[in-house]
């Protein structure tokens, strides 16, 4: 069988952060109680924030509720694609498959 060679780099922290964050959102309840927020706009009491609802949108997508996801934030599915692509773009150059014939015997 093929052997996977992997070497860790500091840039991988970003990739793992995005993978863990998306996984966390997949298991959260978007209809749950309000929580602490780091949103500067919301903490300042401003009525509009361009990013608010993005986490709920992603959580709804993982639950299969497409309309609720769109209503929470229309760019939720785009955000997932961008973040997953970014994470694997960072990791891809350091994951190599060694497919030498002697590995199969």
- The top-scoring range by mean pLDDT among 15-29, 60-74, 85-99 is 60-74
Given a cut of 70, whether residue 5 has pLDDT beyond it is no
User: Does 69 fall in a domain?
Assistant: yes
The pTM (predicted TM-score) of the whole model is 0.69
In terms of pLDDT, which residue wins out, 8 or 24?
24
Give residue for tokens 């997932």. Answer: 80
CA 50, 66, 58, 27 torsion-angle sign: positive
1: how many CB neighbours lie within 10 A of its CB?
A: 6
H helices within the chain, ranges in order?
Answer: 12-27, 40-43, 54-62, 66-72, 76-91
Beta-carbon contacts of residue 68 (< 8 Å; ≥ 6 apart): 30, 60
Domain membership of residue 39 (yes or no) is no
Q: Domain for residue 42, yes or no?
A: no
**Residue 43 is assigned to a structural domain of this protein:** no
Give the model confidence (pLDDT) of 37-47 as tens digits: 777 888 888 88
Q: Tell me if 66 is assigned to some domain.
A: yes
CA nearest to 60, candidates 76, 79, 78: 76
* Range(s) of the domain holding residue 18: 9-29+51-104
At how many degrees (to 10) do helices 12-27 and 54-62 cross? 70
Q: Does 23 reside within a domain?
A: yes
Write out pLDDT tens, residues 83-93.
Answer: 999 888 888 76
């Amino acid at each position: 069988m093929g052997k996977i060679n992997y070497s860790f780099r500091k840039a991988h922290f970003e990739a793992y952060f995005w993978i863990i964050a998306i996984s966390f959102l997949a298991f959260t309840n978007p209809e749950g109680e309000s929580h602490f927020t780091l949103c500067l706009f919301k903490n300042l009491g401003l009525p509009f924030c361009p990013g608010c609802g993005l986490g709920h949108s992603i959580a709804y997508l993982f639950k299969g509720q497409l309309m609720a996801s769109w209503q929470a934030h229309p760019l939720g599915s785009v955000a997932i694609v961008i973040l997953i692509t970014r994470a694997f773009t960072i990791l891809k150059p350091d994951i190599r498959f060694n497919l030498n014939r002697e590995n199969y015997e």
